[in-house]
Amino acid sequence: MKVAISNLNIKADFLLVDAISIPDIDIAQKPIIKGDAKSISIAAASIIAKVTRDNLMKKYDEIYPQYGFYKNKGYGTKEHIEAIKKIRPMSNT
C-alpha cells in the first residue's frame, strides 16, 4: 500500500483503509474494520484490485500453467500448494 500511495499523481489528503493502519506514512488515515462493507470507496477499490489481480493471474497462467493460477488466483489452494512442492516456486530471475 505504501508503494501505491507513493505512486499517486496527486498526494492524498486522507486515506480510508480496510482494517489496518499503514505504518510510516505522513498522511492521515482511518482504518475501518470490514471497510468494504461500510465504505463505498473501499468497496470500489476492492473490486478494482480483485479484477486487476484476476487479470494478472490469467496472464501468469499462460506463462506458468503448471501452477493453476487461472483457477486459484494465487491463493494457497491444495492444488496450488502441491504444484509448488512438485515444481518449486517460480524464480524472479
**Is pTM, for the whole model, over 0.85?**
no
Distance in angstroms (rounded) separating the CA atoms of residues 10 and 14: 12
- Per-chain mean pLDDT for the chain: 89
61 within 8 A of 81, measured Cβ to Cβ: no
pLDDT digits (tens, 9 = 90+) for 19-39: 999 999 999 999 999 999 999
10-29 in b/e form (b: 16+ CB < 10 A) is eeeeebbbbeeeeeeeeeeb
Residues of the chain with pLDDT under 70: 74, 89-93
The CA angle 16-22-23, to the nearest 5 degrees, is: 150
Cell digits of residue 30: 482511518
